[in-house]
Structure 1
């Protein structure tokens, strides 16, 4: 594959040498060698420049990508009419990330290209008395009652593991997070040396494989966890129950893909498939989960500990809520992952048809905590195709305290969504363990882009919140977001979605069918309902 990527460059180089040799022997004129010589010079420039990973990996031929990108606005009406639906992610949102990451102007002339009469279109209501907010550094305190609370940005890097991403991608994300003072979720692959290199804030994700804190048989190891969790760089601990890409599905990292660095980071042997079980071995009930959270909180020295899940059966999350009431143990945060999210490979059926979408999962988690009187004690994060400032504002309005983005920050790194992550042939060096491909991603340049994307998105969020006449993102509510229902009807999201009032579930005011049917049968002692 290396030869294929560099074929145009080598061809130009060889042709230049041949033609110049013929010219030197007076068999051809010197002019014959000018074109291949120019191509060779272009190829050398591509290999040495540090701005474009595609050109570093594909000298000469990589320019075709930028040529097509340059003319796309003019050709859009002919070739890209389905760009909002025909691709796995909107070209428009990807373009916004690129522009903000590169510090390019992202303003658009001639109004919107969206069909504002289309059902489902949403917008934020503006005020005739806008506010003026001093800073776009919006933050929320997680674990306020703990020994080591954390001041969390409202926009952070979502979970992506070293192993899924290259070492240079992890470096760039963490350096950008350090510069912008926002959090970088490690993903379940644990904390690598590349996460530590620049000292950016980390959320250490603990999944069923207990990577970085496991015994040889895959069970949890208290001592290894304690040694790592007490690092000042690790700000929070996240127990992953499921993820949006493939909830309820374990994973396998084939032995052939396990490098010595990955093995050392995860605490696994070389030459053996790395298994991520579908379930945890440390607990099997809602009460057991909360006791595990309390244990991690103590071992970490009082850092905030929470859970991440894509909501599945309602009674299972209701069981966790009932366990909170029964044990008086509450997670410091819950990260809700939407089934539409996920950057990792997964079976098609899981991608399309397993798990709750973010909106429904977020509202259910928020409602349940409100209904049991614990919403003020538990912060909620949200992830699932969140890219733009409006995505963030909308998600915060529906019930989240902060948002995480995986795909957005991958785009900031230079990902062109070639969908070759699972092949180890990523053209931009983002999602590969191939050292030659990964070298194309120049860390200082991409770290700056990560920082700029974060800052530009928060600045845009600041402008939205000011336009809505609000003092802070925490003031966003469902009634600030409007949705078109059909050609001649719009509704506030507070009317479209169903919200409980404080202590409703404690008082038996179920209000809605899902609580009326499933709350009574949920159990703190088991994830299985009591039919």
Structure 2
């Protein structure tokens, strides 16, 4: 019998490690192992030791505030097709001030076989679009890898929901699998841009006319960094990105803070109408993080003055994520989604415009209860970015801005991006979206509701003390249709007077 020696032990360990590394490179389920063969298993070892280590080292949120463990489990487990039941009880302090809960019914109903959808398209829209209750929020190619875009769009195509392109333009990766696109146009007009940086109507009409593009969204501001544009360093402006964005190769790509195509609310409404005509009558809307109620009311007055308006408005909350933004903006600028959403909803109702404009909600939407809460607060549908990234395999390593994403999601490195297997991750995206919408519909059925239109502010309650709660109907003011035009209530009268269709600034 040959006794083991240190050299033989080391050789055996080396052979075993090489075999594990070879398997890791060939398997397609785990992006971390494809990029970090053998040593990547340390991550899964840490996950298994205890939840606190997993929470601190592995799954922290982009802004440093971690999702609670239950929310992370919902996203990852649904994406993997694992049932989301959990032993024991709630992990939340249900007596904490600020805790919110949905009101179930003593007579729940049977959930509909098919989840409700939302028809987007006002009276001036000739080609309305049927929107899912949960869609992929704006994330650009350039911020995400080509494989990540492929996986998201294939998941959208398989699941029948929409994929917002982000302001980086329509890339071949968006088009490869034919999933429904919401084309977002930002202040840089990337993909429909002249050499001087202005809006190019001919290029816009050509791309907006593609059958895959179902709607166009004009971005005014983004929740994580409202009021500022973006800069893509010259070194990152590759030939491919330059071609997609209509910018020079190897030169700094600047997205300005404000639009050049308009400067007043009336001009904005007119520009939206022009975009709709150029798009062949498809739905056209705008996305914004609300800053001032006066600005929202000024936009409503402009719609009344011009006689038209957007087909949809997406409200982006200040808690929304991004791959790179100044910390001061992430934490201290912009209106949170709940207040912004209710502001836009009530302004449209009070101006008599709500029945022709759909409202989307974007900002930390992750679970079925999030969807239901946003519908109660004034939304018709929701968009998710962070959760969709997690469904593609994002582990929230907070390396988005470095290009060194360990799982190939937020990078332009071909070597790192190859770790993301498109067929596997697209199925995860589809499963996550399907299961989350299904759970939202089941929650509504438990509340005695089969159609989102039946939801009211009475269905959502919030703890105001440790022992008392109040419904959203009591906590907030809800306007009646046309109330602002007829006679603005005291809480809105001053802002309604200050709003002008000719300027975004309050009038004296």
1:59 and 2:37 correspond = yes
1:269 and 2:248 correspond = yes
1:106 shift after superposition: 1.2
1:329 shift after superposition: 1.3
Q: Using a 3 Å threshold, how does the CA distance of structure 1 residues 174 and 402 change in structure 2: closer, same or farther?
A: same
Question: Cα deviation per residue 1:417-453 (whole Å; 9 max; x = unaligned)?
Answer: 1111000000110000011001010000000000000
1:378 shift after superposition: 0.6
SS at match of 1:94: helix
1:73 shift after superposition: 3.9
Tell me how far apart the structure 2 counterparts of residues 455 and 102 of structure 1 sit (CA, whole Å).
Answer: 12
Tell me how far apart the structure 2 counterparts of residues 97 and 529 of structure 1 sit (CA, whole Å).
Answer: 42
Tell me how far apart the structure 1 counterparts of residues 276 and 285 of structure 2 sit (CA, whole Å).
Answer: 9
Structure 2 counterpart of 1:303: 282
Structure 2 counterpart of 1:155: 134
1:426 and 2:405 correspond = yes
Question: Cα deviation per residue 1:269-327 (whole Å; 9 max; x = unaligned)?
Answer: 10111110001110000000000000000001000001100001221111111001111
1:481 shift after superposition: 0.9
Structure 2 counterpart of 1:523: 500
SS at match of 2:50: helix
Q: Using a 3 Å threshold, how does the CA distance of structure 1 residues 35 and 467 change in structure 2: closer, same or farther?
A: same
Tell me how far apart the structure 2 counterparts of residues 211 and 38 of structure 1 sit (CA, whole Å).
Answer: 50
- TM-score, length-normalised on structure 2? 0.96
Structure 1 counterpart of 2:221: 242
SS at match of 2:17: helix
1:381 and 2:360 correspond = yes
Q: Give the number of the structure whose alpha-carbon radius of gyration is greater.
A: 1
Q: Using a 3 Å threshold, how does the CA distance of structure 1 residues 373 and 64 change in structure 2: closer, same or farther?
A: same
Q: Using a 3 Å threshold, how does the CA distance of structure 1 residues 524 and 144 change in structure 2: closer, same or farther?
A: closer
Tell me how far apart the structure 2 counterparts of residues 27 and 349 of structure 1 sit (CA, whole Å).
Answer: 59
- TM-score, length-normalised on structure 1? 0.92
Structure 1 counterpart of 2:297: 318
SS at match of 2:281: coil
Aligned with 1:94 (options 72, 89, 96): 72
Structure 1 counterpart of 2:206: 227
1:104 and 2:82 correspond = yes
1:441 and 2:420 correspond = yes
Structure 2 counterpart of 1:34: 12
Question: Cα deviation per residue 1:203-232 (whole Å; 9 max; x = unaligned)?
Answer: 000111000000001000111001100001
Structure 2 counterpart of 1:167: 146
SS at match of 2:228: coil
Q: Using a 3 Å threshold, how does the CA distance of structure 1 residues 78 and 187 change in structure 2: closer, same or farther?
A: closer
1:504 shift after superposition: 1.1
Note if contact 1:133-1:472 (Cα within 8 Å) is conserved in structure 2. Answer: no
Question: Cα deviation per residue 1:94-140 (whole Å; 9 max; x = unaligned)?
Answer: 22100000011211011111111111111111111111123243210
Aligned with 1:470 (options 449, 452, 460): 449
1:484 shift after superposition: 1.2
Tell me how far apart the structure 2 counterparts of residues 109 and 163 of structure 1 sit (CA, whole Å).
Answer: 41
Could you say what the CA RMSD is over the residues aligned between the two structures, in angstroms? Answer: 2.1
Tell me how far apart the structure 2 counterparts of residues 441 and 250 of structure 1 sit (CA, whole Å).
Answer: 29
Tell me how far apart the structure 2 counterparts of residues 496 and 204 of structure 1 sit (CA, whole Å).
Answer: 37
Aligned residue-pair number: 504
